[in-house]
Structure 1
Amino acid sequence: MNGDQLADWLEDLGLADHLAAAGLPGFERDLGGVARWRDPGTGAPLTGDQLADLDRVLHQDGDDPAHAVPLALVQLRRQAQVRAALLASPTHTYATLAQVRGVSENAARFAVHKAAERGALLVVPHDGGVLVPAFQLTGDGEVRPELTAVLEPLLASRMDPWQVWTWLTQPAGLLGGQVPHEAVRDDDEAPIVRHAAVRLAERAPR
């Protein structure tokens, strides 16, 4: 593929916006719609050989290179979609959690840090601050008691907080497609959810 064909292909797949996150060269369209590819490190235009190398990299997955899809970019796109959905769900800052709990913001911040240190509260870094996903809290802002034994192994494993948030709020294969934080409300399902959390924590990178 030439530069325009490669750009068209990535745009059709919805993957063009994820090139930079994968450390790959990106492109911009000029006024005539021509794709101008650039090296991510130097900003210099890609040579023909570099563009050919990129083409090979993007088509290396699968048995048929002509129809291969760059799996790493597909995974990045999926991750971005999931994160966008998570960010659109209810969350708390220190200030909003303080309002729910009826305490000062400093008191809420201290309590959040202490709970996070104990592995009793999922806190997710975002935009230089932190978010406290609301699914794990009761109406008065405290951690749901049935979730404690699920959170502890996951957070103790040092798993990425975004991954913990995703697993707890998305259908899980280990639970037959049930959403963990919802399934754990059922007394019959709670032991299975706790066991699945332990299994997931054991597989987390150390």
Structure 2
Amino acid sequence: MRDEYDAGSTGPRLAAWLEELGLADQLAAAGLPTFERDLGGAVVWRDPGTGAALTPDQVADLDRVLHQDGDEPAHAVPLALVQLRRQARVRAALLASPWHTYASLADVRGGSENAARFAVHKAAERHALLVVAHDGGTLVPAFQLTDAGELRDELAPVLEPLLAARMDPWKVWAWLTQPAGLLGGLVPHEAARDPEEAAIVRHAAVRLAEVARA
């Protein structure tokens, strides 16, 4: 097997290229073959389904796939992996911001965990609360809540069109908490607090929802 991945072969070159771009960690998330290095530094690419080592022809096919974006294959960047990397960074930033589980929300509301779970599910069904699935659990981003753990009144008409359009909850969370181009760089959930900006935020949410539906 080592002969198939000598220093001049496609396998090591492809691995080094992806490492240089910082995209190696996104291969598995994209459902693509991944690679490993043995103690001697040799690169072995493995099939995502079977774990079997790829043949040189299979590595060459993967190389062509990853270089297919752009007019100059030699200088192409695998855009799908770049997008996955950005998505991973955005999610990490969102997860670093305050959010609630059913238990922590129950503490804020002064009720039981079961009551909080039921209330969250009912509000989500009405498109009146943003909930995000993560690692088999449910997160309730805290930015949308008052100190008492209830939805901020000014965000109800902003959330409703986005959630009704079945927009990805992670994208809703990101759009509401980061500077938005549709708002000239304002952060939507912060701008919604200002009565003079609230109507503009609602309009931007409706436009974004329309794009999501399309």
2:88 to 75, 80, 84: 80
Q: Distance in 1 between matches of 2:101 and 2:59?
A: 45
| Gap runs ≥5 in structure 1 | none
Structure 1 CA distance, aligned partners of 2:112 and 2:52? 52
Aligned equivalent of 1:127: 135
Aligned to 1:151: 159
Looking at structure 1, the residues matched to 202 and 142 of structure 2 have their Cα atoms a distance apart, in angstroms, of 20
Q: TM-score, normalised by structure 2?
A: 0.93
1:40 matched to 2:48? The reply is yes
> What is the distance in 1 between the residues matched to 2:53 and 2:116?
50
Return the letter of the residue paired with 1:113. Answer: H
User: Counterpart of 1:146 in structure 2: which amino acid?
Assistant: E
Distance 1:154 1:95 in 2: 26
Partners of 1:42 and 1:93 in 2: how far apart? 36
Partner of 2:114: 106
- Relative to 1, partners in 2 of residues 1:61 and 1:124: Cα closer, same or farther, differing over 3 Å? same
Moved more, 133-142 or 32-41: 32-41
2:9 maps to 1:15: no
Using the alignment, how far apart are the partners of 1:41 and 1:205 within structure 2?
33
Residue in 2 that maps onto 1:64:
72
Give the aligned length: 206
Amino acid at match of 2:137: G
Residue identity matched to 2:113 = E
SS in 1 for 2:35: strand
Quote how far apart the aligned CAs of 1:179 are. 1.1
**Per the alignment, in what secondary structure is the counterpart of residue 129 of structure 2?**
coil
Structure 1 residues 132, 23: CA separation in 2 closer, same or farther (over 3 Å shift)? same
Pairwise CA distance, 1:42:
2.2
**Identity of aligned pairs, percent?**
81
**Which digits, 9 at most, give the CA deviation of each residue in 1:130-161, with x for residues without a partner?**
00000000111111111000000011111111
Distance 2:186 2:70 in 1: 31
1:52-72, CA deviations, whole angstroms, 9 ceiling, x for partnerless residues?
111111111112111111000
Deviates more, 1:74-83 or 1:18-27: 18-27
Alignment of 1:191-206 (within 5 A): 191-205=199-213
* 2:101 paired residue number: 93
The answer for the alignment partner of 2:4 in structure 1 is: none
Q: State the Cα distance separating 1:205 from its structure 2 match.
A: 4.2
The residue correspondences of 1:22-37 to structure 2 (distance < 5 A) are: 22-37=30-45
CA distance in 1, matches of 2:20, 2:185: 30
Deviation at 1:78, TM superposition (A): 0.2
**1:54-112 Cα deviation digits (max 9, x unpaired):** 11111111121111110000000000000011111100001100111111111111111
Task: Report Cα offsets for 1:114-133 as digits up to 9, x if no partner.
Answer: 11111110011111110000
AA partner of residue 62 (structure 1) = G
3-state SS in 1 of match to 2:29: helix
Aligned to 2:5: none
Corresponding residue of 2:186: 178
